[in-house]
Amino acid sequence: MSVSHVEILLITGPAGVGKSTLCWELGGLLAEAGIAHASIESDELDRVFPKPDAAALSALAPGARDVSQLNLAALWTTYRALGHSRLIMSGVMIHVAFDKRWILAAIPDARITVVRLRAGDDSLLQRLDRREAGAGRDAQIERSLKQSKRLADEDIADVLVVETDGRAPQELAREILDRIGWARAG
């Protein structure tokens, strides 16, 4: 199967807003409809210690600046070879313009649709309280609230903002697929 371009649905928002859960729902609905797709959580693309420096990355791929870029390109090579043309990605992505650059460096023929999930502080606190445990709990909660404020203050063109408070993941997934046209694709 020859694929001319890649459609990327990039789900962003602060930690705890429901990105992963939404991606699972999106994937489930697409699978039920028989629509081929792949899903990647961007947090997993650079979960390595120590982080490679510029010299190490450049040795692997001249000009590479981020291990996430290299890992996304490697994964996408396989998915593309299998005939895929749709990718669901998720991540906090506070600097969308920067993140779009490394994503496009990895998948140059991509068209990226950005969906930013938002939730009120009370909802974020409830979700994080259920999810976080241990020594890093308080730091994660503080970090997520800062991310939420920063994202709320940022005005980015061409971003579909979706409020999550009081809404089920299934409802959000159906709305997003309908709004971006993937629900009608085959």
**pLDDT (tens digit per residue) in 144-183:** 777 777 777 666 778 898 999 999 999 999 999 999 999 7
pLDDT for position 122: 85
What pTM does this model have? 0.87
b/e per residue, 108-138, with b = 16+ CB within 10 A?
A: eebebbbbbbbbeeebbeebbeeebeeeeee
Question: pLDDT, tens digit, for every residue of 131-140?
Answer: 767 777 777 7
Q: What is the mean pLDDT of residues 73-87?
A: 95
What's the mean pLDDT in 7-18?
Answer: 92
